[in-house]
Amino acid sequence: MENETSEKKTKKPQPVLLIVLVSLLLIGFGLPIYHEIRSNFQERSYRRHQLTRRNMKQIGLALHNYHWTNHTLPPGAMISESGIPEHSWQALILPFLDQEFLFKQIDLKKPWNDPANQKVFQQKIPVYLSPKVKMKFSKDGYALSHFVGNQLVLKPGTNISFEDIRDGTSNTILAMEIAENFKPWGDPSSLTDPTKVIGPDMKTPSTGGSFILLGDGAVRYISKDVDPAVLKALSTPDGGEVVGEF
């Protein structure tokens, strides 16, 4: 009897061993699933990244075509005779984004947010949206833009040409993507100084940085930790600064 009891004791599964075996099985099944989820996430992030870049390239091409047609860049905002900003640079380049039909519906003699223009500016413009951002409309129902112009180049009420960008078009920011405080694409205040939205303390659209559109049409990814002196040089069209690496 003692021998039988002893054999039964030795054959009894050990709890620790069972835990180890179950853990190994879970890891074996779980790792492939984890890697697949991670791979899918990275692929989606890459696609969003590339679509944002492509949209900015289209904006750059539209600005160049506007310049080719009008011999100047659009003003940052159209200003009325009474000095009130009424329409944005993004509205003015619509014909060069295959949106001429929509552009013709805008009554440029009335402000963008006048009831007569409301339906037009409630229309989403895919090129002005980043797939990284879920918010597409303002609380008032106006379609947003996830990009803003550089107010030091696209100045309200002022048209400048590429010849006026003496620092070089490849060294000057025209527009950039932002991570918050989105404005409707028709809002004439959709402008900012790049130094106010890019920096170590700023929220970024992507991990570590954001896209910028340069005057030559190139789209570059810039780190939020970029040297402030370099960012300042990139922000001005004729400051005479030397642009370093970024």
- Over residues 161-217, the pLDDT tens digits come to 999 999 999 999 999 999 999 999 999 999 999 999 998 888 877 778 999 999 999
Question: Do 134 and 46 form a contact (C-beta atoms < 8 A)?
Answer: no
pLDDT band (50, 70, 90) for residue 41: very low
What is the reported pLDDT for 171? 95
CA distance 172 to 174: 6
Quickly list DSSP for 130-196.
-TT----B-TTSPBEESEEEETTTS-BT----GGG-TT-GGGSEEEEE-SS--EETT-TT-EE-GGG
User: Which has more pLDDT, 44 or 197?
Assistant: 197
**By C-alpha distance, which of 235, 215, 209, 173 is closest to 49?**
209
Q: Is the pLDDT of residue 16 over 90?
A: no
pLDDT, one tens digit per residue, over 48-88 is 788 999 999 999 999 999 999 999 999 999 999 999 999 99
What is the reported pLDDT for 38? 55
What does the pLDDT average to over 154-158? 96
pLDDT, one tens digit per residue, over 103-132 is 999 999 999 999 999 999 999 999 999 998
pLDDT, one tens digit per residue, over 215-234 is 999 999 999 999 999 999 99
What is the reported pLDDT for 28? 66
Q: Is the pLDDT of residue 238 over 80?
A: yes
What is the reported pLDDT for 49? 82
What does the pLDDT average to over 19-42? 60
What is the reported pLDDT for 201? 82
What is the reported pLDDT for 36? 53
Output the CA–CA distances (angstroms, integers) from residue 162 to 20, 57, 145, 179, 202, in the order listed. Answer: 69, 17, 24, 28, 29
User: Which has more pLDDT, 93 or 39?
Assistant: 93
What is the reported pLDDT for 21? 66
Quickly list DSSP for 82-97.
TS-EEEEHHHHTGGGG
**By C-alpha distance, which of 174, 123, 119, 113 is closest to 145?**
123
Q: Give the angle 221-226-231 at the CA atoms, nearest 5°.
A: 90
Q: Is the pLDDT of residue 34 over 80?
A: no
What is the reported pLDDT for 13? 53
- Phi, psi of 196, deg, nearest 5: -90, -10
The predicted model scores a pTM of 0.81
What is the reported pLDDT for 40? 52
Give the SS3 label for residue 106.
Answer: coil
Q: Is the pLDDT of residue 237 over 90?
A: yes
Give the SS3 label for residue 204.
Answer: coil
